[in-house]
Amino acid sequence: MSKLIRSPKSGSGWTSNDLASYHINLQEQEALQFFGVQVLPQPEVDPEILNTLDAKAMHQENNTELISMLELAMTPTRGETAVADFVRVLFEYLGYVRLGWLARTRVEIPFHICGEARKAKTKVCLVDHYHNNITLLVQEDRRLANTAPIHAQAKLVAGAVAAFTEINGDRVAMGLSPLAEKVIPGIVMAGTMPTFFKIPVTQTLAKHIAYGTYPSAETVVTYCYPPVPRPASRYSEGMKPLDNRREVLRCFEAFKVIVGI
């Protein structure tokens, strides 16, 4: 793998080959192991969300908005903004957006690779406005739109490296010591079905990418799928069925600890 070509490219151009060329491997974990819990917590949401299938049958305005956005995001012809809009509303509904934390879309982060300056773009990210830190990254997997593969996992990892470097740059500017390592949480959304990621980024990995060299140490990125009842249909069904919705929301509740909420 050390002989793979490493070239200066933006985060949006990353593929699985780029992960291999920087000794980054993806490892699936079961949900309980990934979240570090014995049982997934119950989601802190209005019971109507868990018991009412369609937006038109909702009685609460914010519930209607959330499920309306979910229904739009389940339709590929609505365009690529529908998923980002759904994620933003979902984060607000679940309490991911809080005092000083903002949900932003299409943020470009400086990305240093192979001696050149590029950009890594996120579909959605959570930003700690007071400390200018990106605390969570979201990329979209557009498999439901029947487009060519876009390597969303690789893009997510590139974004995490860029976010880590930006955080350290801000720390140095404030007279603080840079972080040696940080786990950047991430999500890949295929329609309304998330896959959750924990991406450990070190100064060493970031420097190897910045200079285009091969790290001897392996970086293991872990991820998990929500334990929905019909795994083979997870992408086509998304969060629309109530049993799927319940399991996905339980995962989002557990993920709060990893994100730092």
- Please give the chain's pLDDT, 261 residues, in tens: 666 778 899 999 999 999 999 999 999 999 999 999 999 999 999 999 999 999 999 999 999 999 999 999 988 766 568 999 999 999 999 999 987 899 999 999 999 999 999 999 999 999 988 777 899 999 998 766 555 556 899 999 999 999 999 999 988 988 899 999 999 999 999 999 999 999 999 999 999 999 999 999 999 999 999 999 999 999 999 999 999 999 999 999 999 999 998
**Residue listed under structure tokens 């949480």:** 185
Query: How is residue 186 written in tokens?
Result: 């991430």
Helix 61-73, helix 81-94: angle, nearest 10: 150
The pLDDT value recorded for residue 144 is 60
DSSP 205-247: HHHHHHHT---SS-EEEEEE----S-GGGHHHHTT-SHHHHHH
Query: How is residue 59 written in tokens?
Result: 């009685």
The pLDDT value recorded for residue 81 is 82
The pLDDT value recorded for residue 53 is 95
Contact criterion met (CB below 8 Å) for 141 and 190: yes
Q: What is the DSSP letter of 233?
A: G
The pLDDT value recorded for residue 78 is 61
- Give the SS3 label for residue 155: helix
The pLDDT value recorded for residue 142 is 76
Q: Tell me the residue type at 225.
A: Y
The pLDDT value recorded for residue 75 is 82
Nearest in space to 221 (alpha carbons), one of 208, 203, 235, 205: 205
The pLDDT value recorded for residue 72 is 92
From CA 117, how far away is CA 109, in angstroms rounded?
10
Q: Tell me the residue type at 220.
A: V
Order of strands, sheet of 193-202, starting from the edge strand that comes earlier in the sequence: 24-28, 219-224, 193-202, 181-190, 133-140, 124-128, 101-105
Q: How many CA atoms lie within 13 A of 33 on its CB side?
A: 8
Residues 6+ apart with CB under 8 A from 44: 94, 95, 253
